[in-house]
A and B are shown apart, each in its own frame.
Chain A
């Protein structure tokens, strides 16, 4: 039997959660014994090579590309985990959720105090993914099996969760590993 496959992605996040994943330090050698990384920024594989056991999703959905990637993670992964506060509640990107999208774009490209934009144009190239009306937590777009909160989730939280899932044990995090900051 081959090793289990794991995929990761960062949607509307800052990659901090991936940094926290790397923060498991030398245990990453043990992790490599247990799993192969599939589509992930860690090995820079861009497309799924097949079904994965675990998918780790950082960040919520702020644009149509995020939604597409998230849906393909749901299709390809047996167990989908949203890790980090952005995936769980939208996080810092969701601070725009109380402001209409047009106002956000105007502030960023036209009215902001440091903006230099003589043409007054707002980027609108078909190559640029369209922004959604607001930022959505991952579980409001697809079904998510587990949530690991934190900004970022502590490395030990990610480690405990992965080890439990890979060894078919129930995921029962101790008090100190559930933190929202």
Chain B
């Protein structure tokens, strides 16, 4: 892992080492590549495609593509942002995302991305799918209306908690997160302290009795766009 090389993101030279993905190398250098299904510490999944970059002229997922010497990566260009915007818009219309009453609003990564991209309304028609909610567990509930199928709970439960509580079932529009029990969440081994619960980027898996604790105006994405923390590292390093 010690051998380093350079590649280029948006005309800036970035240092990477073998084994790193484009997204990881960029993040270390203080370049934010928008992402949703990626979570540090989990196996890269590449399902949401929000981290799509043009790599040597081809669209690739930065979270799964290993960085390589001499790569030319296009990250913040207009055409790449346009791809990401339409992906986020599709995620909004294919679920039931009622931000106005969602406990996660202001702290939601999907919403944060939409804010960052300045999306006022999606260009696609809303599907209003029929999804269910499982509130059987004492401390946790899962609202599939808000699920974006990022698989972060699935991976965190398997890799961090060692429990395999969540998994995917079905294909295409019928794909959904299922729990490892005959009937409901209450019958699984999931605990409120599990990494899988904390891993959800949206309001799909939430802890009960914790909602609306942070006042409007003090939430994570109220004043600063998602990714600002990573970008600040670059400015700090430059000074």
Interface residues of A (CB under 8 A from B): 82, 85, 88-92, 94-95, 97-98, 134, 137, 139-140, 144, 146-149, 151, 173, 175-176, 178-181
Known interface pairs A92-B100, A92-B101; A176-B222 also in contact (CB < 8 Å): yes
CA gap between A88 and B98 in the complex, in Å: 11
Interface residues of B (CB under 8 A from A): 92, 96-102, 105-106, 111, 114-116, 118-122, 125-126, 128-131, 216, 222-225
Provide the main secondary structure of the chain A interface. mixed
CA gap between A179 and B122 in the complex, in Å: 14
A contact residues around B120 at 8 Å (CB): 88, 146-149, 173, 178
CA gap between A83 and B115 in the complex, in Å: 16
Verify A98–B115 contact, CB threshold 8 A: no
Q: What are 27 A-B pairs at a CB distance below 8 A? A: A82-B121, A85-B99, A89-B97, A89-B122, A89-B126, A90-B126, A91-B98, A92-B98, A92-B100, A95-B96, A97-B126, A97-B128, A137-B121, A137-B126, A140-B126, A147-B121, A151-B99, A151-B100, A173-B118, A175-B116, A175-B223, A175-B224, A178-B118, A178-B119, A180-B114, A181-B105, A181-B216
Verify A139–B121 contact, CB threshold 8 A: yes
A contact residues around B118 at 8 Å (CB): 173, 175, 178
CA gap between A90 and B223 in the complex, in Å: 26
- Min CB distance, B224 to chain A, in Å? 8
A contact residues around B105 at 8 Å (CB): 180-181
**Nearest-neighbor residue (CB-CB) of A84 within chain B:** B100
- Min CB distance, B129 to chain A, in Å? 7
Neighbour of B128 across the interface among A134, A144, A146, CB < 8 A: A134
